[in-house]
Structure 1
């Protein structure tokens, strides 16, 4: 594909082309890039220091360039009419030559033009289009040499795009002496231009599955090292919160020694939990207790393995262990709930945790408060791989009877448990802990809009417990999810005897949105 070199007067409103899809791969972003193709002088200079900075989702690449580059005499622009392949090729050129890359669109043209002027760009490599920038107004602009490539990709180049660094463009922008600038965290939705520009600026790009530096073991290590060193930590994409949020979570990464099964220190996204539900001493209360702990571990592992082919995150075997059981009779306490001895529960926790799994202890409170019962098992919850489940179905009022009414709880009572759990996690320096609430009727959680949606230390999930014909289960799933904050994780339960029919692992994994937790009862 022939390359052409032309000089144009670039001013605000230039580069107005059609929209470009931004789902293309950002290429290998795990290192600081490679050398340029020539021996010329360095003509693009990264910012001297960024500190700890969140860069919100940036399809055009302008916001990323503003933070990470001080100057650049040359830049790559992917034409708005370009294909995903051209976007990938343009990002590759930027990474290779150490220069910023921008994706043009009707809405981004003004920002792109302004950023070229701020950087002092005198040359542009235009990828994926033959249309050239034009002077959109009579106001004074900047002379920019534009090197263009064809857009149909019909010849040349291993990628089939016909895109290569133009011989006419100045090569060797930065060379082998490119200095490492810092660490950039990138979520899966981070725009390719942002990732490529960060790499071009010398940042080590570390992929994370959640918008949190504690997301993976790799991101924890990179974040802690950077904060203890130069301190240039940037996050690319939405969900990271403010700069202060990023710094706080980065510092937490270094303050916690433990890791969750599957890696990292935050629950979701980043893993899928497959749990057997039951009681340590009563097989009639669930499949977990139908066999000894070691055999139950094997059963949970085999079940989790069936979800492996359907998941792009680690699948973690788990036990959900009922530790207090709602009772028909008030009992000595008058609270219609019977406690399990923590020491009888502990071998089950140890068995699943030693096998690389996660344990969840489940409380059915009767007429006691959720917090009263949770505090009874504080020692078990001090383990980094033990979470807590609350069962409002069995939360009874002063005149209610179990098995007669479906119980309910106000969101304020759940929030009390979350606050207490938060304090426990902080004092014990634990990774984020799961707080799961069972629900199959909206009335079970009153004032749910006021319920905590999660904190740095507590991951909140709502677990949908409906059973019966699949049409009924699907309807319950939709009702329970109605108005639920997207920050809250989701759980699904398969009832082995009551569902008609019970979903296979493949069918369960296909439920939309995909459940983070699947339990079997």
Structure 2
């Protein structure tokens, strides 16, 4: 793909340290005493005690195997049925002839996983701004009624996967000015997150908290939201567009996350899942250019977290489909998402949003759908 195409794509689509997780390595030493040793000219030999030593080794090995078997049984008892899971992810990738999808050797998720059993239909935005998305544009009851309509539309088109509602709230927003700490981001008050939780409760909807770091980092922003992420129905979104790793502020250039950034977020969520006995978390990563996600093949998958790469660009249907194929389909991670823009998708000819039927025909089928 040529550089000129990238410039056209960028113009059409959008305008506008890390905590180390040290994994302890355990080694099991088998110690035993050997008695009655004698030395010969050929070197050291064990004249007596050899049988006892061998017996000790055998007993210890049996003990280790028993512990491993116990752990394996516990893991199996807390994960979903693997045959059903793999069958469903194959269904999402139906008609793929490239071998990219479904992603090979992905872990079977823990019990309570949402994907691929349900399709998430999310309204995106911020309560302080009517311009950042439909979530803050309409009064709550009107917004929920519109969300009901989108959920019903998806359930009508794809009867094999139940669509469920979600609210995707920008909890940390990128800013055009540095602010007091020079980080070019604004943290929403927790009272606003509480408001979103109350609105979501009216539909038993999922809640996603989205982070636009600016010149901050996920290591600084993510732990602040743990109070909410400990809730079983609260999940996470991270936006590489506003992750600025040079001297240009948000909006001047499209930012990026590395695999290390994404792995940090996933590892943090996994810790919360394990520590608080939660169902798996969904991690949504926005993307609409090649450079927004670096080293995608190094993104680590784990049973506690389900990763969605969400096609987050606006434009004409042909451009959006091409972007999905170029950056989502060709660089598989685990699950895929797609965003509709109620206003920006209407700007370029033919001045229409894609239909639910069109998006449901993508390979693989998006399992997370977002409306802004």
The match for 1:519 is: 370
The match for 2:336 is: 490
Deviation at 1:189, TM superposition (A): 7.5
- Secondary structure class of the residue paired with 2:150: helix
Question: In terms of Rg, which structure is larger?
Answer: 1
**d(CA) in 1 for partners of 2:123, 2:104:** 33
- Secondary structure class of the residue paired with 1:332: coil
Deviation at 1:398, TM superposition (A): 4.2
- Secondary structure class of the residue paired with 1:308: helix
Q: Tell me how large the CA RMSD over aligned residues is.
A: 2.7
**d(CA) in 1 for partners of 2:275, 2:105:** 24
**d(CA) in 2 for partners of 1:439, 1:239:** 18
274, 277, 293: which is aligned to 1:429? 277
1:351 matched to 2:225? no
**d(CA) in 1 for partners of 2:264, 2:330:** 22
**d(CA) in 2 for partners of 1:189, 1:338:** 41
429, 435, 440: which is aligned to 2:288? 440
1:464 matched to 2:311? yes
Deviation by residue 1:461-490 (Cα, 9 ceiling, x = unmatched): 1001121111111111111125433x6110
Q: Could you state the TM-score of these two structures normalised by the residue count of structure 2?
A: 0.69
**d(CA) in 2 for partners of 1:467, 1:240:** 30
**d(CA) in 2 for partners of 1:308, 1:330:** 44
The match for 1:274 is: 121
The match for 1:296 is: 143
1:418 matched to 2:269? no
The match for 1:507 is: 358
| 5+ residue gaps, structure 1 | 1-50, 54-183, 191-208, 212-237, 254-264
254, 265, 268: which is aligned to 1:406? 254
Question: Of Structure 1 and Structure 2, which has the larger fraction of its residues in helix?
Answer: 2
The structure, 1 or 2, with the larger RCO (C-alpha pairs under 8 Å, 6+ apart) is 2
Deviation at 1:185, TM superposition (A): 7.0
| 5+ residue gaps, structure 2 | 1-69, 74-80, 91-101, 346-350
1:309–1:373 CA distance, 2 compared to 1 (3 A): same
The match for 1:481 is: 328
Q: Could you state the TM-score of these two structures normalised by the residue count of structure 1?
A: 0.50
**d(CA) in 2 for partners of 1:185, 1:389:** 26
The match for 2:13 is: none
Does the aligned pair in 2 maintain the 1:328–1:401 contact within 8 Å?
Answer: yes
Matches within 5 A, 1:276-355: 276-311=123-158, 312-355=160-203
How many equivalent pairs are there?
A: 278
- Secondary structure class of the residue paired with 2:275: helix
